[in-house]
Structure 1
């Protein structure tokens, strides 16, 4: 669990999650989601330290799960597939539950969020797989 590959993948994926998340949700889709939000639940000033810590914890969990899922066979394509399945879980499964239970966004917002989540976590999975591939013990 605390292998060199896992820790390095955690660190790099955590950084990618932070900056890619900012580019996606903080810049590229901010206006879209503002139009499709029912309730503004955003803080005026988000706590970037806690966001970074959350990304680091998430990257550690994803990296650890990926290492068990991949079973020593690392490729960017498999990493993307792994991450995309995580995106399906977060974006579609959890999105449907949030839509059914909370007045947060309209259905269009949730559908777009699901598509973004699949791509976002796919990219993160590919990054993790790439680090595992490059740090794997040579046979």
Structure 2
């Protein structure tokens, strides 16, 4: 579980999780998502708690990398990681997103579908990075 490859891939994925999340949701789609908010208000903090944000990104990256290690037991590469990331993105972005749509007022359906697509992109890139690390670092 705590192999050199897994630890390096965790660090790379955690950096992507923090910076890529900021890029995708904090810069590129923030206006679109704000236009598609549901009736819930006051959900976002004015300023995130960066210590907990970084910790969450690290936990997410470690789980992602560890499951990939077990999932791709015989084949590790960028395309394997990309495929893994796409499935995780569908699971989280669309599966959990539609469940949240059904149970909360955070986003309207357009925002939910768009957010699901952003999750697929986010996790596909994370998967490609993890796959690359597992392929190159032995």
Band the TM-score falls in, shorter-chain normalisation: over 0.9
Quick one: which of 110, 113, 125 aligns to 2:112?
Answer: 110
Gaps of 5+ in 2: none
Equivalent pairs counted in the alignment come to 136
Q: Does 1:124 align with 2:130?
A: no
Runs of 4+ in 1 over 6 A off after TM superposition: none
Pick from 75, 78, 82: which aligns with 2:77?
A: 75
Aligned to 2:14: 14
TM-score, normalised on structure 2?
A: 0.96
**Mean Cα displacement is larger for which, 105-114 or 30-39?**
30-39
CA deviation digits over 1:21-59, x for unaligned, max 9? 101111111111111112231001111111111011000
After TM superposition, give the deviation of residue 96 of structure 1 in Å. 1.1
TM-score under structure 1 normalisation?
A: 0.95
Q: Map 1:5-84; keep pairs closer than 5 Å.
A: 5-38=5-38, 39-40=40-41, 41-84=43-86
Query: How far does residue 72 in structure 1 lie from its aligned partner after superposition?
Result: 3.5
RMSD over aligned CA atoms reads 0.8
